[in-house]
Amino acid sequence: MAAERSSTHAHRALITLRQRILNGELPGGTRLYEVALAEALGISRTPVRAALSRLAEEALLDRNAGGGFIVRSFAVADVVDTIELRGVLEGTAARLAAERGAPPELLAETGAILRGIDTLFQIETIDMEGYSHLNSRFHDLLARMSQSEVLIREIARIIALPFASPSAFLDDQSRQTDLVKTLAAAQDQHRAVIEAITHREGSRAESLAREHARAARRNVEFLLSREATPKDGAPSLAILSA
């Protein structure tokens, strides 16, 4: 029970802090400390520490040599470019997987993950933490299907950049209906990519994987546009890449 409560607190701290960074409440250069944040959020230091470490992995925070963390500064153009670059690399991975023939065990594991994601859409409120976990596993397997250590390493490098992770999005309950539609469309793209790989259609697999990443880019550009309204989730960057 205690472990489950700590996990829930850590997730809440992660979502809260990520949103504050993305909407500018915690601008670049801001120093963050576990004790102060734990007091502000009304939870213990342990889940705050876990949340800060996760945000550092997402490249939203830098570890301060003197202790604590510092919010990183980033430009919108950098966000768009990193998503575009991830699409190029994953597109190449998908093409190589199709041309070389993806290992059967990886295809089987991917199928199980897609079925797992399907079950998440069968409940009234989607489990975003569960989706994030399965989605990240899918993209990891996609990279591994390329059977290229160089490509696997470079994809791991790019997803460490701000917002380039396939699951770098916000759990914004106010946009639940739109969110489910977006994730369902992403799931259809997942299946199309794997289908192309299975049928050894290299060019099609590459094109589909790149388009999959572009959906995240378009979402970021819309949320930062003048056309976006508060109900759309702006000014937060709900990066919905699967």
Architecture per CATH, 2-71: Orthogonal Bundle (1.10)
> Are 75 and 178 within 8 A, CB to CB?
no
Q: Is the pTM of this model over 0.75?
A: no
* 120 pLDDT tier (thresholds 50, 70, 90): very high
Q: Write the pLDDT tens digit of every residue in 85-107.
A: 999 999 999 999 999 999 999 99
Residue owning tokens 């102060």: 36
Higher-confidence residue of 2 and 209: namely 209
**Domain extents in the chain:** 2-71, 76-232
Same CATH topology for 2-71 and 76-232: the answer is no
Average pLDDT over residues 233-241: 37
The residue with greater pLDDT, 219 or 137, is 137
Q: Tell me how far apart the terminal alpha carbons of the chain are, to the nearest angstrom.
A: 31
Q: 16-49 burial, b for 16+ CB within 10 Å, e for fewer?
A: ebbbbbbeeebeeeeebebeebbeebebeeebbe
Query: Does CATH place domain 76-232 in 3.30.70.140?
Result: no
